[in-house]
Amino acid sequence: MDKPKFFSIRHKLEGTLARTGVINTPHGEIQTPAFIVGGTMATVKTLMPEQVSSLGGRSILVNAYHLMLRPGSDVIKSAGGINNFMNWDKPTFSDSGGFQVFSLGMAYKKGIDATSHSTKGNSSHAIHSKSQLAKVTDKGVFFRSHLDGSKLFMTPERSMEVQHEIGADIHMCFDELTSPLADKEYIKKAMDRTHKWAERCQIRHNELNSMHLAKNEPLQYLFGVVQGARDEILRKASASFFSGCDFDGYGIGGVFEPEEIPTTVRWVCEILPENKPRHLLGMGAQPADLFLGVEYGIDTFDCVAPTRQARNGALFSYNGRINIKNSKFKKDYMPIDDQCDCYTCKNYSRAYIHHLFITNEILGMILASIHNERFVIRTVDNIRESINDRSYFNYKKRFLEKYYSPKKAERYM
């Protein structure tokens, strides 16, 4: 089927894998590199869609697993798709639910997160247990809803059907994210399964796109998801597999510590086709992540951390992160950051926001989220412009030296 030009590269940064470009979707362009705002439940927590747009947000990522449970993908389809449902007129991504295979499976109630090198609880390694809410088979994944315990079965085909009903512009293949504590044998098994699922996803996706074409509806796009944990051989094998598949772009699964990006992400991006976009799933919790991801070949990335940290009182600033709940801000009448152009910094003081958090007022979380989201979006916008005008390394150096201590900044130079 014929498609318009989906991705074009504009500029490349010599000596790195970084580039700027543009992704074309039925709901508009995404200038890359771009931060895709995390809107898991068809909402960016504490922010209205109009606010996200005013902050410079150009795309939102939703989660197919969560929306399948509530309100149901059929409800969203009846509303005219995710854009109509949430009053968002710009591009959208949908994640498949692959992360939930991990979080409701091996990681469930074990204190394991996607970056763990060890467990936080009593378990010494990642094992299956009766308490988990997801069971993986080659055919698909059996889930028990974390809401009411009801049973459901997610296959690659069903994931595509759900995502097409949701109607995001860009979908992710259904994949299996493994625990960092799983042994290499299981990681390889999960990777091979992810590859087979990707082939099934692509077949069903193309069938559904043919239906859209017949109805004169916009075509939707599909990204294959590279897996392989932190193992170089497996990551390269997965990247090589997807390089031979005609996907519209590629997601990179797994959540990485900043120091892992120059290795794991580079292994993948050096192999994936240069002329297709690469999305790093769940990246953006720390400012250094933004620079490293771009340098090693990432075009788009998403993370819920900006608003999550904001709701807990952790605020980004160009002089480092601050905890607005700290008593030293009680009589601090400066903005969160006097270099920030967001609505919060233009109109409210640290003292007022500190007061809102101490008194548990919802407005505090709203103002903090406005600031953090704008901070991250603006930083990525500046990264993109600095690549275009060849000032990237100077911009990176100035930013990191202000945000981090000299010793920590040096780790990311």
SS3 23: strand
Pairwise CA distance, residues 365 & 357, whole Å: 7
What is the DSSP-derived secondary structure letter of residue 234? Answer: H
364: which 2 tokens?
Answer: 């505090």
Sheet strands (E) in 276-341: 278-280, 300-303, 314-315, 322-323
- Compute how many other C-beta atoms are within 10 angstroms of the C-beta atom of residue 138: 9
**Spatial contact of 343 and 370, defined as CB atoms under 8 Å apart:** yes
Please pick, among 95, 248, 289, 337, the residue that the annotation labels catalytic.
95
Going from the C-alpha of 136 to that of each of 141, 253, 262, the distances in angstroms are: 5, 17, 31
Please pick, among 192, 302, 332, 337, the residue that the annotation labels catalytic.
302
**Spatial contact of 255 and 282, defined as CB atoms under 8 Å apart:** yes
**Spatial contact of 316 and 348, defined as CB atoms under 8 Å apart:** no
302 is catalytic: yes
Pairwise CA distance, residues 15 & 7, whole Å: 22
Query: 367-389 burial, b for 16+ CB within 10 Å, e for fewer?
Result: bbbbbbbbbbbbbbbbbbebbee
Closest CA to 371 of 299, 315, 325: 315
Closest CA to 16 of 264, 387, 385: 387
* In 121-253, alpha helices (H): 156-166, 184-214, 232-243
**Spatial contact of 227 and 177, defined as CB atoms under 8 Å apart:** yes
SS3 303: strand
Active site residues: 95, 302
